[in-house]
Amino acid sequence: MKKWNYLFMALLMSAAVVVTSCGKDDDPVDPGPTLNLKGGATYTSADATVQSGSVIRVGVNGLKSSVSGVKLVRYKFSITANNTPTTYVDSTFSSDSFTWETDLTLSGVGEIRLAFELWDKNGMKADQAFNIIIEDPGMQINKYLNVEFGSWNDPVGSFFSSIEGITYTVGQTSASPLNQAKIDFLFFKGATNQNTMASPDDADANTINDLKLNLWTNKNQTRFNATTITAAQFDAIGATYQFPTFNLSAQTSKMNNLVNGQVFLFKTKNEKLGLVKIVDLYSRGDRAKASIIVQK
């Protein structure tokens, strides 16, 4: 009897194995629709940093589920800025595939998140998203390096035009109102105002007879601010620059007692901002060398 029971149990176990191994395979899992960002040099499809005012192109390609084969029915595109989402596209349709793209002009400053969502008829969703940091591009500038300034009787001019990036002499300005209108500041050594950059309307500059400012009919009112900007920081400025805020309460009509490496801010009559870096104040003669950047 014991031998029979053992054989019976063995047969039951064998039958269980056969039943299990012959059971129906599990149904495949539906992955839902697919959504891919358009890539390549033409498109932005990943986290990026751009300047305000830039235009980027974004796009997507979508396909229905390879398992269920149900139609795609809805697409949504939104942008979140300052934790507030805004929907720009929310469309419904019925299709096996989907493609979409657009050009975006990005303004302001800060970080935004672009989100792309695609649904099928079964309510299954595919999505993609990435972040864009928008930076202030600063102002476009002109840069004039190592500009030489001379004394009143030098062939190198004392009077600087930030529009042209050149200096004019006493002879070129005293009898020419047209040239006078171009001048933003001038250099003079001075008896008490040693090594000075001054506006054409500065009172002390107008006491120097050799400069002949008394003959001018156009005297631009340029104003100056001191800064804490270093020579190295000035040298690192590229094609654009965000100038410091001009302090009207601290403005002067001249910067005197200048030293090598000093950087100061100026504002022209036309409200353009600029920086001057003193490169060299020569030990002999009424001469100076400066580098200047100014807003275009």
148 and 114 within one domain = no
154 and 283 within one domain = yes
Residue 48: give its domain's CATH number.
Answer: 2.60.40.10
Is residue 24 one of the residues assigned to a domain? no
- The pLDDT, as a whole number, for residue 14 is 40
Last residue of a domain, one of 135, 160, 191: 135
Using DSSP bridges, classify how beta strands 72-81 and 84-95 pair: parallel, antiparallel or unpaired. antiparallel
Phi/psi of residue 173, nearest 5 degrees: -110, -35
Low-confidence ranges of the chain (pLDDT < 50): 1-23
Q: Are 172 and 160 in contact (CB under 8 A)?
A: no
143 and 282 within one domain = yes
* Residue (of 254, 251, 227, 256) closest to 241 by Cα position: 227
291 and 217 within one domain = yes
CA contacts within 13 A on the Cβ side of 44: 22
CA contacts within 13 A on the Cβ side of 166: 10
Through-space distance between the first and last CA atoms of the chain, rounded to whole angstroms = 108
178 and 59 within one domain = no
Is residue 21 one of the residues assigned to a domain? no
Is residue 290 one of the residues assigned to a domain? yes
CB atoms within 10 A of CB 49: 11
CB atoms within 10 A of CB 233: 13
Q: Per the structure, how many domains does the chain have?
A: 2
Contacts of 48 (CB under 8 A, 6+ apart): 56, 130, 132, 133
d(CA 37, CA 128): 7
d(CA 271, CA 157): 24
Is residue 211 one of the residues assigned to a domain? yes
Which residue bears the tokens 């039943």? 19
121 and 154 within one domain = no
Is residue 22 one of the residues assigned to a domain? no
Is residue 7 one of the residues assigned to a domain? no
210 and 187 within one domain = yes
What residues make up the domain containing 149?
Answer: 139-295
- The pLDDT, as a whole number, for residue 136 is 81
- The pLDDT, as a whole number, for residue 25 is 55
206 and 101 within one domain = no
Which residue bears the tokens 């809805």? 74
246 and 189 within one domain = yes
Is residue 241 one of the residues assigned to a domain? yes
